[in-house]
Amino acid sequence: MTVHVPSADLSQIAERVEQQKAYYHRGHTRSLDFRLGQLKALQRAVQRHEPEILAALAQDLGKSAFEAYATEVGFVLDELRFISKHLSEWMQPERVKTPLVHQPASSEVVYEPRGVTLIISPWNYPFQLLIDPLIGAIAAGNCAILKPSELTPHTSAVLAKLIQDTFDPAYITVMEGGVEVNQALLDQPFDLIFFTGSTRVGKIVMEKAAKHLTPVILELGGKSPCIVDRGVPLALTARRIVWGKFLNAGQTCVAPDYVLVPREDMEPLLEAMAHEIQQFYGHDPHLSPDYGRLVSSERVTHLQQLMQGETVFCGGESDAKAHYFAPTLLQDVDWQAPIMQEEIFGPLLPVVAYDTLDEVIARIQERSRPLALYLFSENPAHQEMIMRHLDFGGGCINDAMIHLATPHLPFGGNGGSGMGAYHGRYSFDAFSHRKALLKRPLNLDMPLRYPPYPAWKEKVVRQVMK
Ligand code: NAD
């Protein structure tokens, strides 16, 4: 049965934003105590609603309890703990130097909230990708309107309930619904928009934001390459790639989109990856409780079309009605193939042969900057060469995806894969404005800068400012 999300009343959207602006200007959200109290309330609410969240993720995407906890609920609880622990230190104004010409004076950078923010999330990690940015918004002292994806209706309903039970809607609220709700929200004069989703919609968001000069953080997608160098242990390499690719049935923005392998290693790598798929999900992944489902039957049909004409090394079976698509390896795929022209965002892994790393670098440089890049190599010169020549959001050497599961690294894209970053301290920074403040006493004044400007003043200024 298809479940639809209820749509927020479009005529109320402007009023909701106004309410939040009024709430924000009252100044409650600024104190450390308020922010920590709200983070604590969110933590308790997530813990209290955990069974409903896991059930909704199983209904929407067939996520196992392990995967749902590790990549969604546990991920968010970790971030809540980390940010709450460091918040008071991050909120301190940062003392910086003042140039001699402005002395006597002191200077500081003050971290201020942005104001009323809009957070829009996609369906693939529908809980984490809405709540994780919200943690940054609360920590930095903002109000927020949250718009979950309409394609994961069970999770959207739990999110709406959790937020409604926990926060004053004048401070934080959820607006459920489809594209029309997004469009109406994007017409409003927010102080920051944090968008996670496709590059196509990211462009629409940025265009709409330009009307109000609203700053945007865009967490987008793209084709993330995985490069396998000569001489690596293929069994472990295969295990790490297969884990990264088929987690959440390939519907992860930083999943390896395609693998580049030395021509002579293609068959052994394919065999090693097929072996790992069987180790993880058994002979028939359809029966595995640990293998997820696609978000819709349309996505299954689209991937079936994308696969046409390719050589299937293993997998390939699908059932659109059940939203099932087997973990699939495609052998010796050409750079020009349709599947190499768009983000796959599903459990199809094309393997492309190469002869030299120069060729790999040239091919990737021709394309839009990826969100992630993975290199399996034990050769320091090759590691250095790839990192020096290729631009991308973030990535790993000798693993896949785990660079996003640490609060110590910024997570975000580059160029076509997005702008801005978050997680840990970077979330606080993303939702803060750095206000510059220079303080001077009024009991002392240097007349140098005031007209008239005789020659001696110019001489002094040239001495001081060279
Ligand atoms: P999407 O861009 O279709 O949808 C994202 C959000 O935008 C949804 O809430 C949707 O309601 C809204 N939306 C859709 N069409 C719109 C329109 N015309 N105008 C205004 N709003 C609109 O993305 P998706 O299919 O939900 O998610 C998949 C994409 O998200 C992939 O490209 C993936 O790589 C990317 N993604 C990126 C990250 C990241 O952190 N960088 C994380 C997850 C997913």
Question: Is pLDDT of 156 > 70?
Answer: yes
CA–chain centroid gap for 84, Å, is 20
Q: 262: closest CA among 309, 221, 305, 229?
A: 229
Model pLDDT for residues 347-368, shown as the tens digit of each residue:
999 999 999 999 999 999 999 9
Model pLDDT for residues 19-35, shown as the tens digit of each residue:
999 999 999 999 999 99
For the beta carbon of residue 70, count every other beta carbon within 10 angstroms.
Answer: 14
Question: Is pLDDT of 119 > 60?
Answer: yes
Nearest CA to ligand 1 atom 26: 122
Q: What is the mean pLDDT of residues 313-323?
A: 97
Model pLDDT for residues 192-210, shown as the tens digit of each residue:
999 999 999 999 999 999 9
Report CA(296)–ligand 1 centroid distance (Å).
15
Confidence class for position 4, pLDDT limits 50, 70, 90: confident
Query: 331 in helix, strand or coil?
Result: strand
Rg of the chain's alpha carbons, rounded to an integer? 25
pTM of the full predicted structure? Answer: 0.95
**What residue has token string 């008239």?**
452
Torsion of CA 309, 310, 315, 321, to 10 degrees: -40
As a whole number of angstroms, the distance between CA 72 and CA 132 comes to: 9
As a whole number of angstroms, the distance between CA 445 and CA 459 comes to: 19
| Portion of the chain with pLDDT greater than 70, in percent | 99
Question: What 8-state DSSP symbol labels residue 141?
Answer: T
- Tell me the average pLDDT of the chain: 96
Q: What is the mean pLDDT of residues 291-305?
A: 96
Question: Is pLDDT of 340 > 80?
Answer: yes
Q: What pLDDT is recorded for position 2?
A: 61
Catalytic residue numbers read 219, 253
Q: What is the mean pLDDT of residues 80-87?
A: 98
* Longest CA pairwise span in the chain (Å): 89
Tokens of 228: 């396998």
Ligand 1 site-directed mutation target among 10, 124, 151, 176, most atoms within 8 Å of CB: 124
Question: Is pLDDT of 110 > 70?
Answer: yes
Lowest mean pLDDT among 329-338, 344-353, 445-454: 445-454
**What residue has token string 């190499």?**
340
Confidence class for position 3, pLDDT limits 50, 70, 90: low
As a whole number of angstroms, the distance between CA 196 and CA 133 comes to: 10
The alpha-helical segments, DSSP class H, found in 339-414 are 357-366, 380-389
Tokens of 33: 């105590």
Q: What pLDDT is recorded for position 466?
A: 84
Q: Is 74 exposed, middle or buried (0-12, 13-18, 19+ CB in 10 A)?
A: middle
Question: Is pLDDT of 371 > 90?
Answer: yes
110 within 8 A of 435, measured Cβ to Cβ? yes
Instruction: Detail the DSSP E strand segments found in 268-403.
Output: 311-314, 318-319, 324-325, 328-331, 348-354, 372-376, 394-397
Nearest CA to ligand 1 atom 12: 179
Q: Which amino acid, 277?
A: I
b/e 398-410 (16+ beta carbons within 10 angstroms → b):
bbbbebbeebeeb
Atom of ligand 1 lying closest to residue 201 CA: 2
Model pLDDT for residues 401-440, shown as the tens digit of each residue:
999 999 999 999 999 999 999 999 999 999 999 999 999 9
Query: 378 in helix, strand or coil?
Result: coil
Confidence class for position 69, pLDDT limits 50, 70, 90: very high
What phi and psi, each to the nearest 5 degrees, are found at residue 137? Answer: -65, -45
Question: Is pLDDT of 183 > 70?
Answer: yes
The CA-CA-CA angle for residues 385, 232, 363, to 5°, reads: 40
Ligand 1 site-directed mutation target among 7, 176, 182, most atoms within 8 Å of CB: 182
Q: What is the mean pLDDT of residues 368-394?
A: 98
